[in-house]
């Protein structure tokens, strides 16, 4: 994949991910306004986290690390990629069906293990919600497989657009509930599995149009499946370790009223740049690196890695500065209405600033992990993740008596930087393909300086616009003005200093 096509892939995935995250903001705004921090929202967050946790464990972790490189390699050669894809589909379907059945039976134990600090009322609510939303994992896991097929063939749009359906359907359902006087929480939870069906239909249809109309059948155990499982298990464990971090954080937060809701809202805000940049880079970079390494194109692999790192930092560093400089205006304008009051906003803003400190680490992990996965190395990322998990758990539990509910956010950020350091340390001995080029080394300090200039502009502008930011109606215009000022100051400085060349972006957009 040429650099211009690689950047185009980043932008395609980034655009659809941005659309999904923006709609996700609308979704969270409605949840916070119509339901609000408290027992109902805490129960919903804990219940919805269960299928998402297992989806990342079985589908995204395993298939990003094992299926995509193997499928890409078969496309590069003369092997039967469609047969391999069909076998993987049938195996994944069997595993997720069994998992869903077990979860439905043992849902009370799952809730106790992941949100043990809840009282009886929230426990009962979470169990009920969990049994409704858990089948989402079956549909989303299969959708993740078809997304892997599409990404390996260089067709990123449909796979990246699929998550938009969830937000569109949930927003529509809550709107109908609100206008008709229905129970918003009931409409919300029943829509989630239906959205999973819609997402699977979209990606399955797109894969069929791409020439991979995979049909379900009886699972077969083949040498390829054996190799994929041996590769996938460490990757699934590594992803599972990261999910354990979330569970530990939720366990700590569940001991404090509304803390699960506050951390969830803050997580959604910092996940916007993480999703748009980090996940987009990881999705596009992995199949491209796999193809280049299989073809022994080390120069091309190095260029792809350098451009991915450059793209990631060009958007992540200014996002980090913004989350640290203006968390309160962001949270206030986005979430303060209805059932979410000033105290909730102040708590969420603190968590946003702390998560923002870890954003570069979270994004760069998505850039570095493909270096391992493209080489079939899923064991070392797992070992690194275990170390990060231990640090996260120790900090979250140890700091809670001192700093209270915010301990999980601090632990997540510090553990993220430890994980990044270990991933960099593990690159030793992989050759020149894992070293960034001169262009990236030239541009990175200029990107950082441009972001600091933007931060200063934001700080001054926030002081000047403070009355407007606190005025109903005007606060939306004031926040939009801040965003526009930030964009112009950052990209203007970056272009002038040589950190970002607008011609590169224009070329990728035209492509």
Q: What is the pLDDT of residues 93-105, one digit of tens each?
A: 888 899 899 999 9
- According to the model, what pLDDT value does residue 189 have? 92
Candidates 71, 36, 108, 11; CA nearest to 507 is 11
Does residue 336 sit in helix, strand or coil? coil
Q: Is pLDDT above 70 for 388?
A: yes
User: pLDDT tens digits, residue range 435-488?
Assistant: 788 888 899 999 999 999 999 999 999 999 888 887 877 888 998 899 999 999
Residue 486 near residue 457 (C-beta atoms within 8 A): yes
Q: For residues 173 and 286, give the distance between their C-alpha atoms in angstroms, rounded to a whole number.
A: 36
Higher pLDDT, 215 or 412: 412
Least confident residue range of 64-73, 175-184, 264-273, 326-335: 64-73
Residue 159 near residue 206 (C-beta atoms within 8 A): yes
Question: Mean of the per-residue pLDDT values for the chain?
Answer: 81
Does residue 279 sit in helix, strand or coil? helix
- Number of CB atoms found within 10 A of residue 499's CB: 24
What mean pLDDT comes out for the span 174-201? 90
Q: Is pLDDT above 90 for 194?
A: yes
This prediction's pTM: 0.70
- According to the model, what pLDDT value does residue 301 have? 76
User: pLDDT tens digits, residue range 76-88?
Assistant: 665 677 787 778 8
How many Å separate Cα 63 from the centre of its chain?
15
Which residues make Cβ contacts (< 8 Å) with residue 264, sequence separation at least 6? 28, 41, 45
Higher pLDDT, 268 or 44: 44
Q: How confident is the model at residue 239 (pLDDT cuts 50, 70, 90)?
A: low
- According to the model, what pLDDT value does residue 156 have? 65
Q: How confident is the model at residue 1 (pLDDT cuts 50, 70, 90)?
A: very low
- According to the model, what pLDDT value does residue 66 have? 72
Q: How confident is the model at residue 511 (pLDDT cuts 50, 70, 90)?
A: very low
Which residues make Cβ contacts (< 8 Å) with residue 454, sequence separation at least 6? 318, 321, 322, 486, 489, 490, 493
Candidates 502, 500, 457; CA nearest to 481 is 457
Q: How confident is the model at residue 509 (pLDDT cuts 50, 70, 90)?
A: very low
């Amino acid at each position: 994949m040429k650099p211009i096509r690689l950047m185009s892939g980043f932008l395609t995935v980034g655009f659809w991910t941005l659309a999904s995250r923006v709609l996700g903001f609308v979704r969270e705004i409605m949840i916070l306004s119509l339901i609000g921090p408290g027992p109902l929202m805490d129960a919903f967050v804990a219940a919805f986290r269960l299928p998402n946790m297992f989806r990342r464990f079985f589908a995204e972790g395993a298939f990003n690390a094992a299926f995509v490189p193997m499928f890409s390699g078969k496309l590069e050669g003369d092997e039967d990629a469609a047969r391999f894809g069909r076998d993987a589909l049938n195996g994944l379907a069997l595993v997720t069906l069994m998992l869903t059945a077990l979860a439905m039976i043992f849902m009370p134990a799952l809730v106790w293990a992941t949100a043990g600090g809840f009282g009886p009322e929230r426990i009962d609510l979470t169990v009920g919600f969990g049994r409704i939303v858990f089948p989402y994992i079956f549909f989303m896991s299969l959708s993740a497989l078809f997304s892997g097929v599409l990404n390996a063939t260089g067709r990123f749009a449909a796979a990246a657009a699929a998550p938009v359906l969830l937000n569109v359907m949930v927003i529509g359902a809550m709107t109908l509930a609100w206008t008709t006087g229905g129970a918003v929480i009931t409409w919300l939870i029943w829509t989630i599995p239906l959205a999973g069906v819609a997402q699977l239909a979209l990606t399955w249809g797109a894969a069929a149009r791409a020439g991979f109309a995979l049909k379900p059948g009886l699972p077969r155990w083949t040498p390829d499946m054996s190799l994929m499982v041996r590769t996938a298990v460490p990757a699934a464990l590594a992803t599972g370790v990261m999910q354990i971090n979330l569970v530990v954080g939720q366990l700590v937060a569940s001991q404090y009223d509304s803390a699960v809701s506050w951390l969830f809202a803050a997580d959604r805000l910092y996940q916007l740049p993480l999703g748009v940049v980090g996940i987009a880079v990881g999705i596009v970079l992995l199949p491209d690196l796999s193809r280049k390494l299989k073809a022994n194109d080390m120069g091309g692999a190095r260029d792809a890695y350098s451009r991915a790192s450059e793209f990631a930092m060009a958007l992540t560093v200014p996002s980090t500065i913004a989350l640290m400089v203006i968390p309160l205006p962001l949270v206030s304008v986005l979430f303060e209405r209805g059932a979410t009051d000033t105290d909730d906003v102040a708590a969420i803003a603190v968590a946003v600033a702390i998560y923002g400190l870890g954003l570069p680490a979270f994004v760069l992990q998505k850039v570095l992990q493909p270096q391992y996965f493209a080489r079939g190395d899923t064991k070392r990322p797992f070992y690194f993740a275990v170390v990060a998990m231990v640090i996260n758990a120790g900090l979250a539990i140890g700091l809670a008596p001192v700093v209270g509910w915010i301990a999980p956010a601090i632990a997540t950020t510090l553990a993220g930087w430890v994980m990044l350091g270990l991933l960099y340390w593990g690159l030793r001995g992989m050759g020149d393909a894992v070293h960034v080029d001169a262009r990236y080394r030239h541009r990175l300090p200029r990107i950082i300086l441009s972001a600091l200039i933007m931060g200063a502009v934001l700080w001054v502008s926030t002081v000047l616009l403070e009355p407007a930011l606190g005025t109903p109606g005007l606060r939306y215009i004031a926040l939009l003005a801040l965003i526009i000022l930030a964009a112009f100051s950052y990209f203007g400085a970056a272009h002038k200093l040589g950190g970002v060349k607008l011609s590169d972006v224009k070329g990728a957009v035209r492509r």
